[in-house]
């Protein structure tokens, strides 16, 4: 367990993964998602321990536990996701996860809310929402590439929960509520980028990306370049090239 005052020698390459994990943990407590997403995959179990050492609020602890749960679902599938497994992955005392999520369904709902936030963060908008067809293509292509690379585990967790929802109708209202939130956010992206019919186009583009990423995860191609295909889809929808 790494405490708050643990110091790591800056000149030792052996400690670099530890430094990245501590940096990610600090980023979690400071709300700096870019540090978290860049570092947590380098040493996941240590990241969870570091993050829980730095968090200061119940919400921070909840987020760290959900990230551990997403890693489990994205790596081992739904069967591997239990309260005890999340406790072990996060390096916390037994019962910690159940203190925040009393039932398995409550944990699943928390995971859905968390991976939707993380997926939205995977769409790069450094200068604000895309304001042209070209900018939207670049942003969505970057999202697709990240979804099969650094964000692979998040993507696999999303698909696993979608399958769970197909098999367990009781989960569908929560899945639908989260999907509505994402649709509202994505609708504004396509509207700003120049769509003539945002309500129609948002659903078509979103469903295409879902299938594109799933196919690439299942059957990876040597050089995955989603931009030309996304551009062709948008052109077929009749957008003006702005």
Averaged over successive runs of 10 residues, the pLDDT of the chain (242 residues) comes to 37 43 49 49 50 60 92 94 94 92 94 90 82 94 95 94 94 92 93 94 96 97 95 92 54
Domain edge (last residue) among 75, 102, 129: 102
- pLDDT number for residue 128: 80
- Whether residue 110 lies inside any domain: the answer is no
Domain that holds residue 200: 118-236
- pLDDT number for residue 51: 53
- pLDDT number for residue 211: 97
- pLDDT number for residue 59: 76
User: Same structural domain for residues 156 and 191?
Assistant: yes
User: Same structural domain for residues 142 and 75?
Assistant: no
**Dihedral of alpha carbons 143, 183, 69, 49, sign:** positive
For residue 128, list its beta bridge partners.
Answer: 126
User: Same structural domain for residues 219 and 141?
Assistant: yes
User: Same structural domain for residues 148 and 40?
Assistant: no
- pLDDT number for residue 131: 92
For residue 126, list its beta bridge partners.
Answer: 128
- Whether residue 111 lies inside any domain: the answer is no
- Whether residue 123 lies inside any domain: the answer is yes
Domain edge (last residue) among 102, 126, 160: 102
- pLDDT number for residue 16: 46
- Report how many domains make up the chain: 2
Q: What is the pTM of this model?
A: 0.75
- Whether residue 186 lies inside any domain: the answer is yes
User: Same structural domain for residues 69 and 128?
Assistant: no
Closest CA to 45 of 67, 23, 16, 29: 67
- Whether residue 3 lies inside any domain: the answer is no
H/E run at residue 71 = helix 58-76
User: Same structural domain for residues 20 and 94?
Assistant: yes
User: Same structural domain for residues 171 and 226?
Assistant: yes
With 0-12 CB in 10 A as exposed, 13-18 as middle and 19+ as buried, what is 111?
Answer: buried
- pLDDT number for residue 48: 52
User: Same structural domain for residues 171 and 212?
Assistant: yes
User: Same structural domain for residues 97 and 167?
Assistant: no
């Amino acid at each position: 367990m790494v405490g708050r005052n643990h110091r790591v020698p800056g000149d030792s390459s052996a400690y670099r993964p530890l430094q990245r994990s501590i940096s990610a943990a600090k980023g979690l407590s400071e709300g700096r998602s870019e540090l978290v997403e860049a570092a947590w995959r380098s040493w996941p179990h240590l990241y969870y321990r570091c993050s829980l050492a730095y968090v200061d609020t119940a919400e921070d602890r909840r987020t760290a536990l959900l990230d551990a749960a997403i890693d489990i679902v994205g790596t081992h599938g739904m069967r591997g996701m239990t309260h005890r497994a999340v406790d072990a992955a996060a390096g916390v005392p037994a019962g910690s996860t159940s203190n925040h999520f009393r039932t398995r369904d409550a944990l699943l709902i928390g995971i859905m809310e968390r991976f939707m936030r993380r997926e939205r963060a995977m769409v790069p908008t450094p200068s604000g929402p895309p304001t042209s067809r070209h900018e939207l293509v670049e942003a969505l292509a970057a999202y697709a590439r990240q979804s099969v690379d650094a964000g692979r585990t998040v993507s696999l967790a999303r698909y696993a929960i979608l399958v769970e929802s197909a098999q367990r109708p009781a989960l569908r209202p929560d899945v639908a509520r989260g999907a509505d939130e994402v649709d509202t956010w994505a609708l504004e992206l396509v509207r700003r980028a120049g769509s003539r019919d945002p309500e129609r186009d948002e659903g078509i583009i979103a469903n295409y990306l879902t299938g594109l990423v799933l196919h690439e995860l299942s059957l990876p191609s040597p050089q995955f370049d989603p931009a030309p295909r996304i551009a062709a889809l948008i052109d077929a929808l009749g957008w003006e090239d702005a």
